[in-house]
């Protein structure tokens, strides 16, 4: 139901400030509708202390309760961590803009209950989260025949991607709620995850649910994903008065650009500012079957998270002259990363960004187009526009933004599904049932958090023009 009067405003190719302002009511409608959907579902079952987005956006039907992968008896750690972060950021945004106060009150109560539940489950699992867990908080995995098997968590065992997401979500929720004990716990959790990232004690805990999207750990294959995702943790620390986030953020960005981006003509066989998904043991792009795979969406997500970190740090007045100069250097590269990887991944005939692209043949390998890389690119494009010094580059950033905005509005957002987005479309433009990472729909993380930053960028631009 389209309660919030969504109009599906589209943008012209030559977009300016006056056109961007017109999109904000639609964005507000989208954010509020998704949060209302989450609140409605949570309040239906007081015995299920989890964010519940277990719905098929294509059909509008809940996943069957007895479905081992999609049903309510399989809780995804990623969704609970992402969802906590989304709840906190949406509540801050709703409060700041003076919007739906009744919804705000409901979301605050839900956030507190989920935070308490996740802290409890983490304590009973030796300080760890997991990709899969039961409603009782017991971690498990699946064997090759898709039978459930308990997951043993060892003392001082590795952290996983789920921990990275949960540490961020716990911190932002605890800060919003003013829970000092939970803030201290989550801050330590973030820093423990960061230490694990650099000492090799973190693993990618995702289970492959799409045959075309290999994600599970392989020997000699080192993905950049954790370094990218941790950038937002650095931004959170800085935003909330912890200056240790400054060094954390610069270290993460530097690592990404040094090992995963082709800048300064490092590899002449590739194009300037191509980004690859993984390196091998030799620290060079990982090659498999003569291909170097890139996920253009991840490259574009990196741009947005890195630019947001620098914007946050600069806005807090915490950067010295050397760091400000470093920002200029990093921003100049990130702008090129945006332009190059959008060109690599954008499939204009279908209106979306492909999942994987081969940097050798310059062709899409997995032409499916997940929803998440569109709003992530929208955030990156506006943040890049704000730091671009050249009018031509600013125009290119705005063109990217307009294309993504229009594609998202036309092809992904479903007014009949509480303005949530279909998860995946194919190159023919059809919405398909492919699972990008989890079958659970986005709990306001990729879409909502990106769109909140888009709104803030438009507001800032309006004030300065």
pLDDT at residue 465, as a whole number: 60
Q: How confident is the model at residue 2 (pLDDT cuts 50, 70, 90)?
A: low
- The average pLDDT across 83-97 equals 98
**Burial letters 301-335, b for 16+ CB under 10 A, else e:** bbbbbbbbbbbbbeeeeebeeeeeebbeebbebbb
**Burial letters 183-219, b for 16+ CB under 10 A, else e:** bebbbebbbebbebbeeeebbbbbeebbeebebeeee
Strands of the 369-370 sheet, one edge to the other: 369-370, 424-425, 431-432
- Measured CA to CA, the distance from residue 335 to residue 164 in angstroms comes to 26
pLDDT at residue 41, as a whole number: 97
- The average pLDDT across 239-265 equals 96
- Measured CA to CA, the distance from residue 442 to residue 430 in angstroms comes to 19
pLDDT at residue 219, as a whole number: 87
Q: First CA to last CA across the chain, in angstroms? A: 36
Beta pairing class for 75-76 and 132-133: antiparallel
pLDDT at 317 over 90: yes
- The CATH code that applies to domain 17-464 is 1.50.10.10
**pTM of the predicted model as reported, rounded to 2 decimal places:** 0.97
- The average pLDDT across 165-186 equals 98
Beta pairing class for 202-203 and 222-223: unpaired
- Measured CA to CA, the distance from residue 195 to residue 252 in angstroms comes to 12
**In the beta sheet, which residues pair with residue 459?**
none
> Is-contact 425 58, C-beta < 8 A?
no
pLDDT at residue 216, as a whole number: 75
- Measured CA to CA, the distance from residue 153 to residue 294 in angstroms comes to 32
- Cβ-Cβ contacts under 8 Å for 431 (sequence gap 6 or more): 57, 58, 411, 422, 424, 425
**Mean pLDDT over each residue of the chain, to the nearest integer:** 96
Beta pairing class for 202-203 and 159-160: parallel
Q: How many CB atoms lie within 10 A of CB 126?
A: 12
Q: How confident is the model at residue 463 (pLDDT cuts 50, 70, 90)?
A: confident
Question: Phi and psi at residue 66, in whole multiples of 5°?
Answer: -90, 5
Domain boundaries, the chain: 17-464
- Measured CA to CA, the distance from residue 375 to residue 450 in angstroms comes to 6
Give tens-digit pLDDT for 22-77: 999 999 999 999 999 999 999 999 899 999 999 999 999 999 999 999 999 999 99
Give tens-digit pLDDT for 404-426: 999 999 999 999 999 999 999 99
pLDDT at residue 14, as a whole number: 85
- Measured CA to CA, the distance from residue 54 to residue 72 in angstroms comes to 7
- The average pLDDT across 174-198 equals 98
Largest CA distance in the chain: 59
Q: How confident is the model at residue 214 (pLDDT cuts 50, 70, 90)?
A: confident
- The average pLDDT across 102-126 equals 97
- Measured CA to CA, the distance from residue 188 to residue 191 in angstroms comes to 5
pLDDT at residue 79, as a whole number: 98
Percentage of the chain with pLDDT > 90? Answer: 91
DSSP run (H or E) holding 461: helix 450-464
Q: How confident is the model at residue 1 (pLDDT cuts 50, 70, 90)?
A: very low
- The average pLDDT across 452-461 equals 95
Give tens-digit pLDDT for 128-164: 999 999 999 999 999 988 999 999 998 889 999 999 9
């Amino acid at each position: 139901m389209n309660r919030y009067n969504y109009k599906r405003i589209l943008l012209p190719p030559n977009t300016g400030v006056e056109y961007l302002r017109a999109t904000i009511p639609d964005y507000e409608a989208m954010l509020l509708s998704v949060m209302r959907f989450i609140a409605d579902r949570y309040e239906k079952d007081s015995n299920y202390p989890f964010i519940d987005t277990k719905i098929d956006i294509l059909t509008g039907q809940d996943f069957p309760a007895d479905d081992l992968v999609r049903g309510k008896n399989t809780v995804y750690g990623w969704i609970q961590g992402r969802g906590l972060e989304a709840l906190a950021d949406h509540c801050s945004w709703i409060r700041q803009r003076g919007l739906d106060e009744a919804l705000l009150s409901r979301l605050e109560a839900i956030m507190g209950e989920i935070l308490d539940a996740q802290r409890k489950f983490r304590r009973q699992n030796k300080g760890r989260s997991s990709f899969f867990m039961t409603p009782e908080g017991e971690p498990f995995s699946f064997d090759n025949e898709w039978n459930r098997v308990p997951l043993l968590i060892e003392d001082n065992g590795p952290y996983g991607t789920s921990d990275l997401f949960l540490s961020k979500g716990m911190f932002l929720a605890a800060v919003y709620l003013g829970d000092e004990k939970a803030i201290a716990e989550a801050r330590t959790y973030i820093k423990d995850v960061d230490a694990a990232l650099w000492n090799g004690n973190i693993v990618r805990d995702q289970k492959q649910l799409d045959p075309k999207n290999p994600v599970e750990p392989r020997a000699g294959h080192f993905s950049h994903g954790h370094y990218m995702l941790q950038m937002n943790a650095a931004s959170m620390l800085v935003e909330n008065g912890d200056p240790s986030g400054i060094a954390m953020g610069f270290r993460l960005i530097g690592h990404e650009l040094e090992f995963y981006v082709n800048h300064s003509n490092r590899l002449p066989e590739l194009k300037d500012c191509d980004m690859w998904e993984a390196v091998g043991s030799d620290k060079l792009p990982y090659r498999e079957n003569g291909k170097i795979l890139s996920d253009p969406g991840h490259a574009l997500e990196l741009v947005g998270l890195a630019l947001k970190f620098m914007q946050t740090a600069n806005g807090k007045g915490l950067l010295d002259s050397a760091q400000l100069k470093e920002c200029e250097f990093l921003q100049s590269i990130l702008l090129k990363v945006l332009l190059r990887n959008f060109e690599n991944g954008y499939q204009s005939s279908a209106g979306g960004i492909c999942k994987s692209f081969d940097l050798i043949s310059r062709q899409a390998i997995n032409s499916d187009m997940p929803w998440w890389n569109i709003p992530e690119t929208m955030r990156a494009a506006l943040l890049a526009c704000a730091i671009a010094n050249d009018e031509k580059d600013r125009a290119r950033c705005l063109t990217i933004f307009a294309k993504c905005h229009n594609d998202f509005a036309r092809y992904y957002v479903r007014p009949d599904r509480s303005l949530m987005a279909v998860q995946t479309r194919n190159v023919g433009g059809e919405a398909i049932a492919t699972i990008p990472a989890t079958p659970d729909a986005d709990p306001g993380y990729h879409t909502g958090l990106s769109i909140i930053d888009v709104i803030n960028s438009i507001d800032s631009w309006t004030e300065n023009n």
